[in-house]
Amino acid sequence: MQKAIFFDRDGVLNREIGDYVCKIEDFEILPDSADCVKLAKENGFMAIVITNQGGIDKDLYSIEELGTFHQKLQNACKEIGTQIDDFYFCPHHPIKGKCLCRKPDSLMIEKAIAKYQLNPELCLIIGDTERDMKAGEKAGIQTLLIQPNSEKKRLLEEAIRNLAQKEKLISI
């Protein structure tokens, strides 16, 4: 079975601006984001983005515009020789009704686990909100809470070391 690092997007990979990122010029990739994706990949993890995008439901931006944001992020990764394996997003907003894919629910993570045959015991979500942690817990994966827009590489290195130890124990 494979393993993965799930990355929340806003506040983890790109700057959280306190409102919806609706324009490409407002989509600022954080300095260590591509390095963290590369770190995950170099350690045998898939890199998967899991993000709530309720602005789509509120007609603030389209799925096509969201695609341009994700392509910008992917291009930043490719510049240093790495890439994100997949993007999952929930386009729903609670004002329009409840859905199971929106974090703190875990359907996006569960779909990725099923699609890629991931071992939940060897997966981690890195996020900047309690809803990211709850989604990870519901999916049975480890969680790493960071401050929004903060440096995360050292924390991710430590988490990867811990998962490597766990992987050794599982394979015994």
For residue 53, the domain's CATH number is: 3.40.50.1000
Tell me if the pTM is above 0.95. yes
Hey, what long-range contacts does 41-45 have (CB within 8 A, 24 or more apart)?
A: 41/82, 41/83, 42/82, 43/160, 43/164, 44/3, 45/3, 45/4, 45/5, 45/160
In sequence order, the β-bridge partners of residue 144 are: 126
pLDDT in tens, the chain (172 residues): 799 999 999 999 999 999 999 999 999 999 999 999 999 999 999 999 999 999 999 999 999 999 999 999 999 999 999 999 999 999 999 988 889 999 999 999 999 999 999 999 999 999 999 999 999 999 999 999 999 999 999 999 999 999 999 888 877 6
The C-alpha atoms of residue 165 and residue 149 are separated, in whole angstroms, by: 28
Number of domains in the chain: 1
Query: Which residues span the domain enclosing 25?
Result: 4-171
